[in-house]
């Protein structure tokens, strides 16, 4: 019999007692082939390796398969008969959990294993052809394996200082043991640079979001995480933190492998000492006293890179610094440059050493500090001013002979209530007479203020008794 189409048949009908053979008949007719039911195939999921049991999202599985010798299976011609048990996981179609008896297409199913489940997850299905014939019931098997955590390896540990970092340097690379693919040398990355080798794959996809920083984790400036591959790398070498010694950083990274398995692991990497070259090469910085009153600060740079400005900072205790000035930098230059700033009259504020430092700020806002310089102003003896006679009957002599002639002195005579009753403008190196004839008897205060030639303040108060 042919497998398809119709089969022509004919037969001769005659009566055994008929003498006239013309009465015999030979009719012809054709049979119709009966519809053959489709055959559903048992399927073992091969779209990927065994599903990790930590997968939080549904990943596609291999298509359902059926054949039909005399028809077609169109659209939603498949029916899920029995679902995986709840201990195994959940089958999804169009983002909704599948129910028993639901019609589906061949390649629209996804599966999420139950957390912690290890073994084979199974469900059954049938196929229906375009004539309505239903297939046998086929078994679909999804292997689910224990998910193994990703691991990270550290690279470029010799960078920093004379061997500066460059943008795109790899700091840490991940391998997911569930889905990793090694090359012919049984390697995944270059041992020195951390670059992915040809023929290898780390077990994560190369697109989409497969790696994220866990909550509370922050990478240092100039370092980024590749969300697709899980690589931690230098994204901007000029922004790396600069430290006099190697500095370790630890972040927590959550990865998702090709099976949908997910886990969070700590990653510790190190930024080497002096990770980036100084934007300014400072060859000299000094602070010196001028006229025992001012501080002259001078410094010289041999070269500058993206130097925006200098902040000049001062401290009277060597610990707490405050900005007292700012000078613009020269951007980028290979020529030597000298700068100077005068801190005028600072001696009057200083009771001991005065400390200075420079805060160099580059165009990106990053700052570095210079060494600290200090100076000390000479402490001049305090001039002893006096009156004679005291008590006073009519006038008294104010002795300013210990003050230099260039000193200017303002003198105010205050009564007990604080009201000024007399005032004089005087000069040093003299003995002026103060006339108090018209004043009532009592006690007065003579307040002497001024500025000495070296900038030091003058402030003394003498008591006068008027008879």
pLDDT band at residue 455 under the 50/70/90 scheme: low
175-217 tens-digit pLDDT: 998 888 999 999 999 999 999 999 999 999 889 999 999 999 9
Q: Which residues lie below 8 Å from residue 296, measured CB to CB, with a gap of 6+?
A: 287, 288, 289, 290, 340, 341, 342, 343
Pairing status of strand 6-10 against strand 28-32: antiparallel
Task: Give the CATH number of the domain where residue 43 resides.
Answer: 2.60.40.10
The pLDDT, as a whole number, for residue 216 is 93
Does 306 fall in a domain?
A: yes
Give the tokens for residue 310. Answer: 């200098």
CB burial of residue 453 (10 Å; 0-12, 13-18, 19+): middle
**Whether residues 133 and 48 fall in one domain:** yes
Distance CA 163, CA 156 (A): 10
Instruction: Give strand pairing partners of 412.
Output: 423, 447
Task: Reply yes or no on whether the pLDDT at 48 is more than 70.
Answer: no
Structurally, the chain folds into a number of domains equal to 3
The answer to whether the beta carbons of residues 164 and 156 sit under 8 Å apart is no
Last residue of a domain, one of 128, 145, 162: 145
The answer to pTM > 0.95 is no
The pLDDT, as a whole number, for residue 366 is 80
Task: Name the residue range of residue 327's domain.
Answer: 280-375
**Whether residues 412 and 322 fall in one domain:** no
Task: Give the CATH number of the domain where residue 422 resides.
Answer: 2.60.40.1220
Q: What angle do CA 297, 303, 306 make, to 5 degrees?
A: 95
Give the rounded distance of the alpha carbon of 209 from its chain centre.
17
93-141 tens-digit pLDDT: 998 999 999 999 999 899 988 888 889 999 999 999 999 999 999 999 9
**Whether residues 322 and 416 fall in one domain:** no
Q: Prior bond to 391 cis, omega within 30?
A: yes
357-402 tens-digit pLDDT: 999 998 878 888 999 999 998 876 677 889 999 999 999 999 988 8
pLDDT band at residue 19 under the 50/70/90 scheme: low
**Whether residues 85 and 114 fall in one domain:** yes
**Whether residues 45 and 132 fall in one domain:** yes
Strand, helix or coil for residue 270? strand
**Whether residues 333 and 403 fall in one domain:** no
CA end-to-end distance (rounded Å), the chain: 154
The answer to whether the beta carbons of residues 360 and 305 sit under 8 Å apart is no
Distance CA 285, CA 130 (A): 91
**Whether residues 403 and 363 fall in one domain:** no
Strand, helix or coil for residue 347? helix
**Whether residues 317 and 399 fall in one domain:** no
What stretches of 257-369 adopt beta strand conformation (E)? Answer: 262-271, 280-290, 294-315, 322-333, 337-343, 354-362, 367-369
Greatest Cα pair distance, the chain, in angstroms, is 188
Give the tokens for residue 343. Answer: 């801190």
Last residue of a domain, one of 309, 340, 375: 375
The answer to whether the beta carbons of residues 397 and 433 sit under 8 Å apart is yes
Q: Give the CA distances from residue 142 to residues 96, 383, 423, in Å, rounded to whole numbers and listed in that order.
A: 19, 100, 105
* Mean pLDDT, rounded, of the chain: 88
Does 209 fall in a domain?
A: no
Does 212 fall in a domain?
A: no
Query: Count of alpha carbons within 13 Å of 169, Cβ hemisphere only?
Result: 26
Does 53 fall in a domain?
A: yes
Last residue of a domain, one of 375, 395, 413: 375
217 vs 279: which has the higher pLDDT? 217
138-181 tens-digit pLDDT: 999 999 888 888 999 999 999 987 888 999 999 999 999 888 89
**Whether residues 368 and 341 fall in one domain:** yes
Nearest to 435 by CA among 464, 393, 394: 394
Nearest to 200 by CA among 209, 191, 208: 191
Does 173 fall in a domain?
A: no
Strand, helix or coil for residue 330? strand
Strand, helix or coil for residue 174? strand
Distance CA 105, CA 111 (A): 15
Span 340-361, average pLDDT: 92
Q: Give the CA distances from residue 162 to residues 241, 273, 276, 336, in Å, rounded to whole numbers and listed in that order.
A: 16, 10, 9, 22
Q: Which residues lie below 8 Å from residue 184, measured CB to CB, with a gap of 6+?
A: 199
**Whether residues 410 and 443 fall in one domain:** yes
The answer to whether the beta carbons of residues 434 and 422 sit under 8 Å apart is yes
Q: Which residues lie below 8 Å from residue 404, measured CB to CB, with a gap of 6+?
A: 428, 429, 452, 453
Does 453 fall in a domain?
A: yes
**Whether residues 358 and 410 fall in one domain:** no
Q: Give the CA distances from residue 405 to residues 42, 432, 451, 459, in Å, rounded to whole numbers and listed in that order.
A: 115, 13, 12, 17
Distance CA 444, CA 72 (A): 122
Does 266 fall in a domain?
A: no
Does 197 fall in a domain?
A: no
Nearest to 463 by CA among 351, 387, 372, 370: 387
**Whether residues 75 and 139 fall in one domain:** yes
């Amino acid at each position: 019999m042919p497998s398809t189409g119709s089969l022509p048949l004919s037969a001769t009908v005659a009566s055994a007692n008929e003498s006239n053979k013309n009465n015999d008949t030979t009719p012809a007719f054709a049979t119709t082939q009966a519809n053959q039911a489709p055959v559903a195939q048992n399927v073992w999921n091969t779209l990927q390796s065994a599903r990790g049991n930590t997968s939080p999202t549904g990943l596609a599985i291999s298509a359902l398969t059926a054949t039909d010798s005399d028809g077609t299976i169109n659209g939603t011609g498949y029916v899920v008969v029995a679902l995986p048990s709840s201990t195994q996981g959940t089958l999804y179609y169009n983002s909704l959990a599948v129910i028993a008896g639901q019609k589906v297409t061949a390649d629209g199913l996804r599966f999420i294993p139950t957390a912690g489940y290890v073994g084979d997850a199974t469900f059954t299905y049938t196929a229906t052809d375009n004539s309505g014939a239903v297939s046998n019931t086929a078994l679909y098997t999804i292997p689910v394996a224990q998910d193994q955590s990703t691991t990270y390896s550290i690279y470029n540990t010799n960078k920093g200082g004379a061997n500066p970092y460059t943008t795109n340097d790899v700091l840490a690379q991940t391998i997911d043991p569930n889905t990793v693919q090694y090359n012919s040398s049984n390697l995944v990355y270059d041992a020195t640079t951390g670059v992915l080798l040809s023929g290898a794959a780390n077990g994560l996809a190369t697109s989409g979001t497969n790696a994220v920083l866990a909550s509370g984790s922050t990478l240092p400036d100039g370092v980024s995480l590749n969300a697709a591959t899980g690589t931690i790398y230098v994204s901007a070498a000029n922004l790396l933190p600069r430290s006099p010694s190697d500095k370790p950083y630890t972040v927590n990274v959550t990865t998702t492998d090709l099976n949908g398995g997910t886990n969070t692991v700590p990653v510790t990497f190190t930024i080497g000492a002096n990770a980036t070259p100084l934007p300014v090469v400072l060859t000299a910085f000094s602070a010196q006293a001028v006229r025992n009153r001012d501080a002259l600060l001078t410094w010289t740079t041999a070269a500058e890179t993206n130097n925006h400005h200098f902040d000049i900072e001062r401290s009277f205790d060597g610990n707490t610094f405050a900005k007292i000035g700012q000078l613009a930098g020269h951007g980028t230059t290979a020529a030597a440059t000298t700068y100077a700033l005068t801190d005028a009259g600072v001696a009057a504020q200083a009771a001991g050493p005065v400390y200075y430092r420079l805060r160099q700020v580059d165009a990106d806002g990053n700052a570095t500090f210079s060494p600290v310089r200090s100076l000390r102003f000479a402490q001049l003896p305090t001039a002893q001013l006096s009156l004679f006679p005291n008590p006073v009957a009519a006038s008294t002599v104010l002795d300013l002979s210990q003050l230099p002639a260039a000193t200017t002195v303002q003198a105010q005579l205050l009564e007990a209530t604080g009201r000024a009753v007399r005032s004089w403008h005087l000069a040093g190196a003299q003995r002026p007479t103060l006339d108090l004839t018209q004043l009532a008897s009592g006690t007065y205060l003579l307040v002497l203020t001024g500025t000495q030639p070296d900038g030091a303040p003058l402030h003394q108060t003498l008591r006068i008794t008027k008879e």
